[in-house]
C-alpha cells in the first residue's frame, strides 16, 4: 500500500507539472496537449487503443517469457561449464556492441510484419540482462559452501541445484526486473519498423495525422502497462527469493 501511494503521488505531481508546463509555455495542442486533452482522446478512442494495446501486451509477455527462459538456461549452461564460459561469455559481451535497434529492420525482413518479429525484438533486448545477472549470481556462491559440498561428496548437479541456484535467485530477480522494463521497448521498436497493429503502430499513425493527443494517450497506456508489469515481476521475484531464503523477503 505504501508503494502504491508513492506511485499515486508521483502521478499527481507529474500531471500537475505537465499542466503547468502547457499553461506557462502556451504551446499549441499539436505540439504538447494538456492532460485534459489526452484524457479526452483516451476516452474517445478507448476501443481503438485497447485493440492495439492487446497486441503489444501479447508481444511483450511472450517475449518476456521466452527471453527469461532462454537467458536463464544459458546462464545455467555457462555456470556449469568453465570451458564454454571462456568462449561464449566474450561473445555475449560483443553482441551488445551491435545496437539492438539496428536489428529491427533485419528481423522484420526475415520474420515478416506480424507478431513474430516483435517477439524476437523483445527477446533480444532482454536476453543479455537476464543471462548476465543470473550468471553473476551463480558464480558468486560462497566458497565455503562449495568446499563443504565437495567434502561431503556432492555431485555437480547437486551443487548446482541445491547451492548455486538458490543463492542466485536474487540476482535472477534483478535481471527479470530489468527485463520487465526493456521488453516493451523491444516490442514497440519492432512495431515502429513495420506493423499493422500495436501501440507503437498507433503512435506512428497518430503522429502522421497530427493527432498528438492520441499519440500521448497510447504512450501513457504503454507506460502504465510497463509500470504494472515491473511491479508484478518485482513481487514474483521477491516471493521467489523469500521461498529460497526467508530472510530475503
Residues 217/38, Cβ–Cβ less than 8 Å: yes
- Return the sign of the alpha-carbon dihedral for residues 102, 58, 69, 232: positive
Rounded to an integer, the average pLDDT of 170-174 is 95
pLDDT at 248: 43
Q: Given this model, what pLDDT does residue 156 score? A: 81
Give me the percent of the chain exceeding a pLDDT of 70: 96
Average pLDDT over residues 62-66: 97
The sign of the CA dihedral 58, 220, 40, 37 is: negative
The Cβ-side half-sphere exposure at 19, using a 13 Å CA radius, reads 10
Structure confidence at residue 2 (pLDDT): 60
Residue 88 is predicted with a pLDDT of: 86
**The pLDDT of residue 10:** 83
Q: Taking the alpha carbons of 46, 230, 36, 2 in that order, is the dihedral positive or negative?
A: positive
Q: Taking the chain, what is the end-to-end CA distance rounded to the nearest angstrom?
A: 16
Q: Per-residue pLDDT tens for 86-115? A: 888 888 888 777 887 888 899 998 998 899
pLDDT of residue 247: 42
pTM value is: 0.90
Helices 35-44 & 2-25, crossing angle to 10 degrees?
110
Amino acid at each position: 500500500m505504501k508503494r502504491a501511494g508513492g506511485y499515486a503521488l508521483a502521478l499527481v505531481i507529474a500531471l500537475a507539472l505537465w499542466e503547468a508546463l502547457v499553461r506557462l509555455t502556451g504551446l499549441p495542442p499539436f505540439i504538447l496537449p494538456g492532460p485534459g486533452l489526452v484524457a479526452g482522446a483516451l476516452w474517445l478512442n478507448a476501443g481503438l487503443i485497447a485493440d492495439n494495446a492487446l497486441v503489444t501486451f501479447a508481444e511483450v509477455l511472450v517475449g518476456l517469457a521466452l527471453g527469461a527462459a532462454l537467458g536463464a538456461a544459458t546462464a545455467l549452461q555457462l555456470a556449469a561449464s568453465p570451458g564454454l564460459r571462456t568462449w561464449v561469455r566474450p561473445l555475449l559481451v560483443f553482441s551488445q556492441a551491435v545496437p539492438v535497434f539496428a536489428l529491427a529492420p533485419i528481423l522484420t525482413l526475415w520474420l515478416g510484419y506480424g507478431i513474430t518479429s516483435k517477439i524476437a525484438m523483445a527477446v533480444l533486448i532482454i536476453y543479455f540482462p537476464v543471462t548476465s545477472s543470473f550468471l553473476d549470481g551463480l558464480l558468486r556462491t560462497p566458497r565455503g559452501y562449495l568446499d563443504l559440498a565437495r567434502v561431503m561428496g556432492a555431485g555437480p548437479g547437486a551443487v548446482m541445484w541445491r547451492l548455486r541456484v538458490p543463492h542466485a535467485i536474487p540476482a535472477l530477480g534483478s535481471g527479470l526486473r530489468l527485463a520487465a522494463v526493456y521488453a516493451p521497448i523491444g516490442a514497440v521498436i519492432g512495431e515502429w519498423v513495420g506493423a499493422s497493429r500495436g501501440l507503437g503502430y498507433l503512435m506512428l499513425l497518430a503522429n502522421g495525422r497530427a493527432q498528438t493527443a492520441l499519440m500521448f494517450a497510447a504512450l501513457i497506456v504503454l507506460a502504465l502497462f510497463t509500470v504494472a508489469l515491473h511491479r508484478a515481476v518485482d513481487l514474483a521475484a521477491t516471493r521467489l527469493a523469500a521461498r529460497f531464503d526467508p530472510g530475503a523477503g
